[in-house]
């Protein structure tokens, strides 16, 4: 049985995010053996109460001297899809060994320079607010992560992904795919030109909307630094309502996912600028200065 039926979450048709094949097309097709109480549609108020209870409990342990949590909780029930997908055992501490102390090498043969501009991939201009998103990728010691792959993907300006299973009835943009890549420079810098993504509805509960966001995929100098995350935009009214953003229970940690509007990055009569720096985990390997020059073994090896 698909998880979201088991958990009696909202199953309205034509909303996004639920990819379980066997989910009924309409609420009327829900299995009859689900208790009536479990079929109640959960509202934003229900979810917000759950989020608040978890946030209040965290505030209390923090007040009692607990260390701040810097990462999302894997076990965060308000994000319903996480319920059956979080490990129940503590992660096992391990010291990185051999292959884990290195990362795959990426070079300019892997990524074309034009892939960092998401607005020029088609025959015309995409719809929406053109933006520049730029920043640096650093390790836990503040050193630039040079020559590594940054991948992004996002919805278009009306909040729709080009993915065939995104059935949100907002227009597709024939001039916007929403995928970009680049390799970080010697100073760890990355830069994309794109379109500000729209907010969109999803099926976690009734009236669930994701804040606008851009997905980021990053590699460090070691495989243990690998991370996928999401960049958000400042001042979004949906932050308090979103179980994915709120799975990071610490406000300072949440703030690290929000880009800064940067007027120096904004270009006259062209695009608004957002700055967002990304910090990977600390490095365990003895690090050599020449790594700041980028991946070894690039085209010129």
Structure tokens at 157: 């300006």
Closer by beta carbon to other proteins, 191 or else 215: 215
Q: Do 168 and 159 meet the contact criterion of CB atoms below 8 Å apart?
A: yes
* Residues between 197 and 216 that touch other proteins (CB under 8 A): 215
The yes or no reply on residue 24 touching other proteins (CB under 8 A) is: no
Q: Round to whole Å and give the CA distance between 206 and 169.
A: 16
Catalytic site residue 215? Answer: yes
Half-sphere exposure (CA, 13 Å, Cβ side) for 97?
3
Closer by beta carbon to other proteins, 269 or else 299: 299
The stretch near other proteins (CB under 8 A) out of 31-39, 122-130, 184-192, 219-227 is 219-227
Catalytic site residue 168? Answer: no
Among candidate residues 73, 215, 226, 285, the one labeled active-site is: 215
Evaluate the CA torsion angle 282, 288, 294, 299 in order and state its sign.
negative
Closer by beta carbon to other proteins, 266 or else 285: 285
Q: Which CA distances in Å does 218 have to 54, 145, 225, 281, 283? A: 29, 10, 8, 11, 15
Taking CB under 8 A as the criterion, the residue among 88, 286, 288, 290 binding other proteins is: 88
Q: Round to whole Å and give the CA distance between 76 and 99.
A: 31
What is the dihedral angle through the alpha carbons of 161, 167, 168, 172, rounded to the nearest 10 degrees? 50
Q: Do 232 and 70 meet the contact criterion of CB atoms below 8 Å apart?
A: no
The yes or no reply on residue 264 touching other proteins (CB under 8 A) is: no
The yes or no reply on residue 161 touching other proteins (CB under 8 A) is: yes
The yes or no reply on residue 221 touching other proteins (CB under 8 A) is: no
Among candidate residues 161, 190, 245, 274, the one labeled active-site is: 161
The yes or no reply on residue 174 touching other proteins (CB under 8 A) is: no
Catalytic site residue 300? Answer: no
Closer by beta carbon to other proteins, 82 or else 158: 82
Considering the complex, what minimum distance in angstroms separates the CB of residue 75 from other proteins? 5
Q: Round to whole Å and give the CA distance between 14 and 286.
A: 51
Query: Per-residue contact track with other proteins, 104 to 133, x per CB under 8 A?
Result: xxxx-xxx----------------------
Q: Do 143 and 291 meet the contact criterion of CB atoms below 8 Å apart?
A: no
Catalytic site residue 210? Answer: yes
Which of 197, 243, 188, 198 lies closest to 218, judged by CA?
Answer: 188
* Residues between 28 and 47 that touch other proteins (CB under 8 A): none
Closer by beta carbon to other proteins, 262 or else 277: 277
The yes or no reply on residue 143 touching other proteins (CB under 8 A) is: yes
Kindly list the catalytic residues. 161, 200, 210, 213, 215
């Amino acid at each position: 049985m698909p998880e979201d039926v088991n958990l009696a979450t909202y199953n309205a048709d034509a909303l996004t995010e639920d990819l379980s094949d066997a989910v009924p097309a309409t609420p009327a097709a829900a299995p009859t053996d689900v208790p009536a109480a479990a079929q109640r549609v959960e509202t934003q108020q229900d979810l917000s109460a759950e989020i608040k209870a978890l946030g209040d409990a965290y505030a209390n342990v923090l007040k009692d001297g607990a260390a701040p949590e810097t990462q999302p909780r894997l076990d965060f029930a308000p994000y319903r899809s996480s319920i059956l997908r979080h490990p129940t055992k503590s992660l096992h501490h391990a010291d990185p060994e051999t292959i884990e102390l290195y990362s795959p090498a990426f070079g300019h043969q892997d990524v074309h320079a034009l892939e960092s501009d998401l607005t020029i991939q088609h025959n015309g201009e995409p719809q929406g607010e053109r933006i520049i998103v730029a920043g640096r990728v650093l390790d836990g010691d503040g050193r630039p992560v040079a020559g590594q792959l940054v991948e992004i993907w996002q919805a278009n300006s009306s909040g729709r992904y080009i993915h065939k299973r995104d059935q949100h009835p907002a227009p597709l943009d024939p001039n916007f795919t929403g995928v970009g890549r680049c390799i970080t420079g010697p100073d760890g810098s990355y830069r994309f030109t794109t379109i500000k993504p729209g907010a969109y509805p999803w099926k976690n509960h009734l009236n669930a909307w994701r804040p606008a966001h851009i997905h980021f995929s990053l590699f460090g100098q070691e495989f243990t630094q690998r991370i996928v995350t999401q960049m958000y935009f400042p001042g979004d009214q949906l932050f308090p309502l979103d179980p994915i953003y709120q799975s990071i229970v610490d406000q300072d940690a949440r703030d690290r996912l929000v880009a800064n509007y940067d007027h120096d990055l904004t270009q006259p009569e062209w695009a608004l600028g957002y700055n967002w720096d990304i910090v990977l985990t600390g490095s365990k390997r003895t690090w050599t200065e020449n790594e700041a020059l980028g991946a070894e073994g690039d085209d010129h090896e």
